């Protein structure tokens, strides 16, 4: 594929504070460049991924459609991650999950995330096991994101689909089916970037043909293209580097 997943954008009223939380929780570097605050995966992870913290004036009011799952290596490690998250300002929350082996939490801005029990499938993912997307039709949306993220289909069960980078490193991209259609603008969204030498406009046209559409969310004159995927999740096509 000609584009690859590079960023998870998190809209927040407090980019400085929330980036500090995620940097300390994940053990990733906090990087300031091009007017952004990024929490960056180390090169040793084998995958280029940043969490980018974007200024937002509106507070979070609804459950996010996209969230992060964190990996653990053992029950003791899971407990330590949960305790560290609480010490940094997160809290455990109930979203109707019932009796499950993972811990559902909210970061200091209220964004949901899960600290998973040890799972072999995530042993080489790094601290973020998966970027999880709620979908109406997980299979159809996953097919689009195979084209957009450059990931490959690696698992499917009970209507859910898991994608992985071709080098089998870094977080999974997972789609959970059976949810209601999206309403409102997502506070988390994904960025994809064309590979060097690939024309951004051609990629916008390719993804439009695959079911996306350009949208205006008030971004003004920017070098990236803001789009919506087939289930209206916002994403951006960046310029090549």
Number of compact structural domains in the chain: 1
> Which strands make up the sheet holding 225-228, listed edge to edge?
29-33, 36-40, 50-55, 3-12, 188-194, 234-237, 225-228, 213-214
Kindly report the pTM of this predicted structure.
0.96
The whole-number pLDDT of residue 1 equals 62
Domain with 174 in it: 3-237
pLDDT in tens, 165-193: 999 999 999 999 999 999 999 999 999 99
The whole-number pLDDT of residue 48 equals 81
Q: Which CATH number fits the domain that encloses residue 144?
A: 3.10.180.10
Average pLDDT over residues 192-207: 96
Residue 211 in tokens: 């079911």
Q: What is the mean pLDDT of the chain?
A: 95
pLDDT in tens, 103-157: 999 999 999 999 999 999 999 999 999 999 999 999 999 999 999 999 999 988 8
Residue given tokens 């407090």 in the structure block: 14
Residues above pLDDT 70, as percent of the chain: 99
């Amino acid at each position: 594929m000609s584009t690859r997943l590079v960023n998870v954008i998190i809209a927040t009223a407090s980019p400085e504070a929330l980036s500090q939380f995620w940097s300390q929780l994940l053990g990733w570097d906090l990087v300031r460049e091009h007017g952004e605050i990024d929490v960056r995966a180390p090169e040793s992870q084998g995958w280029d991924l940043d969490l980018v913290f974007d200024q937002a004036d509106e507070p979070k009011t609804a459950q996010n459609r996209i969230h992060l799952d964190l990996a653990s290596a053992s029950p003791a490690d899971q407990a330590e991650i949960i305790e560290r998250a609480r010490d940094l300002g997160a809290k455990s929350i109930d979203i109707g999950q019932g009796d499950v082996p993972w811990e559902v939490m909210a970061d200091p801005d209220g964004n949901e995330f899960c600290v998973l029990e040890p799972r072999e499938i995530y042993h080489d993912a790094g601290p973020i096991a998966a970027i999880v997307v709620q979908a109406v039709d997980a299979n159809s949306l996953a097919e689009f994101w195979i084209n957009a993220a450059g990931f490959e289909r690696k698992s499917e069960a009970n209507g859910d689909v898991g994608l992985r980078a071709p080098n089998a490193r870094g977080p999974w991209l997972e789609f959970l089916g059976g949810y209601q259609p999206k309403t409102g603008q997502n506070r988390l969204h994904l960025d994809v970037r064309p590979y060097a030498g690939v024309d951004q406009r051609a990629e916008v046209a390719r993804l439009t043909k695959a079911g996306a559409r350009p949208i205006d969310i008030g971004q003004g004159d920017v070098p990236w293209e803001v789009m919506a995927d087939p289930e209206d999740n916002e994403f951006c096509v960046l310029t090549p580097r």
